[in-house]
Amino acid sequence: AQCIDVLPLILLSFFAMLRIHVMGGQTLGRGSFGKVQLVRHKDFGIFFALKTLDKMHMEDAGLMEYVYNEIRVLKILDHPFIIRMFGFIDSPTKIHFLFETAMGGEMKFQLERHRCLPNDVARFYAACVILALEYMHSKGVVYRDLKPENLMFDKDGYLKVVDFGLSKDIRSRTYTVCGTPEFLAPEILRQEGYGMAVDSWSLGILIYQLLVGFTPFSHLREPDDVFRLILRGQDTFLVFPKRKKSAAEAKEGQAVKSVSLHAEDLIRRLLHDDPSKRPSFDGIKKHRWFKGMNWEDLEQKKVRPPFVPRLDSESDMKYFEDFGEEQQEEI
């Protein structure tokens, strides 16, 4: 019997007939320029995430360039740890994106719940991100927005990198100053042009946050203060706090750090002020912190995640903020 891929038929139905149903009040996320809602195909019963942006507000803010960048980038990306876009509708007033769902919620909420992650858990999620970034770079795409809010869990517990509004297809260098202040590489702030290595810097900050529970700049309120420390170099901001000693460790007089020496070494290498001296993805994957990691099995999702969402149904919203009942989106 011939195997028929039903997905193109589903997408044809979606975009030709708009046969979707917006689940009333079930908003997955909300931002300044739009929101993401859970939707279901009327004929096939399959759930998707519908991201809707207000074009007027985006145009007034001069941000439409980033929207079309996101579309161009997502069209060429296809990786197990990157959210999949099935298509989009560009109407006169709004842009609608249709994505796969990631019903395990954001990494941000897991960090808020647990404060920080055990070494092996952080290592697993960092490895997922590394594989996603390595793939993006192989396609000529720089991400520029790595942070826990942009990492989501699918139903099986694997990470998905989401929100490609700041990503860009580059061939050599780019000059735009953009990103989240605490994750910006120094070469972005110098405005002398930068390349793919800015993602390696953000990776270093992310790994630190996963292991410690906050970024090295969480005590600062003003972005300018954050930028000042970043430009001065890691010796001015990179501190690895000590955790509380166990009774046995205290008796033996051991100095205990919250981060392993191998993890600390990798973080310091990733946060090198000179982007040319940050490790390549091959170097990162061979680092001692990842000893024993089977990268091929992980990419094929053969390694069991440390956290698997306990979902009662495909529309279970327990890992998302309750936004209350909202008006259904008309497309």
- CA separation for the pair 290, 307 (Å, rounded): 19
Residue list for the binding site for ATP: 51
Confidence class for position 321, pLDDT limits 50, 70, 90:
confident
Residue 58 has pLDDT above 50, yes or no: yes
Confidence class for position 20, pLDDT limits 50, 70, 90:
low
Residue 69 has pLDDT above 80, yes or no: yes
pLDDT of res. 271: 98
- How crowded is residue 175: how many other Cβ atoms within 10 Å of its Cβ? 9
Confidence class for position 318, pLDDT limits 50, 70, 90:
very high
Is pLDDT larger for residue 77 or for residue 172? 77
Weakest mean pLDDT among 25-29, 36-40, 69-73: 25-29
The verdict on whether 145 is a catalytic residue reads: yes
Hey, what are 169's tokens? 């297809």
DSSP string over 81-144:
TBPPEEEEEE-SSEEEEEE---TT-BHHHHHHHHSS--HHHHHHHHHHHHHHHHHHHHTTEE--
Weakest mean pLDDT among 41-55, 103-117, 123-137: 41-55
CATH of domain 7-99: 3.30.200.20
- How crowded is residue 138: how many other Cβ atoms within 10 Å of its Cβ? 10
Residue list for the binding site: 51
Per-residue pLDDT of 168-208, as tens digits, reads: 999 889 999 999 999 999 999 999 999 999 999 999 999 99
Q: Residue 244 carries which DSSP code?
A: P
Q: Where are the domains of the chain?
A: 7-99, 107-299
Which member of 78, 145, 265, 273 is catalytic? 145
Residue 35, CB half-sphere, CA atoms under 13 Å: how many?
A: 17
Residue 37: enclosing H or E segment and its boundaries? strand 34-41
Per-residue pLDDT of 202-255, as tens digits, reads: 999 999 999 999 999 999 999 999 999 999 999 999 999 875 555 554 555 544
Confidence class for position 124, pLDDT limits 50, 70, 90:
very high
Proportion of the chain above pLDDT 70, given as a percent:
85
Beta-bridge partners for 99: 49, 85
Average pLDDT, the chain: 88
Q: Spell out the CATH class of 107-299.
A: mainly alpha
Q: Residue 72 carries which DSSP code?
A: H
pLDDT of res. 45: 82
pLDDT of res. 17: 36
Confidence class for position 105, pLDDT limits 50, 70, 90:
very high
Q: Residue 175 carries which DSSP code?
A: -
Strand order in the sheet with 20-30: 20-30, 34-41, 47-54, 94-99, 85-90
Beta-bridge partners for 36: 29, 51
Entry pTM = 0.88
Stretch 83-94: mean pLDDT: 90
Hey, what are 307's tokens? 């956290």
3 state DSSP class of 183: helix
Q: With CA atoms as reference, report the closest residue to 308 among 99, 119, 162, 121.
A: 121
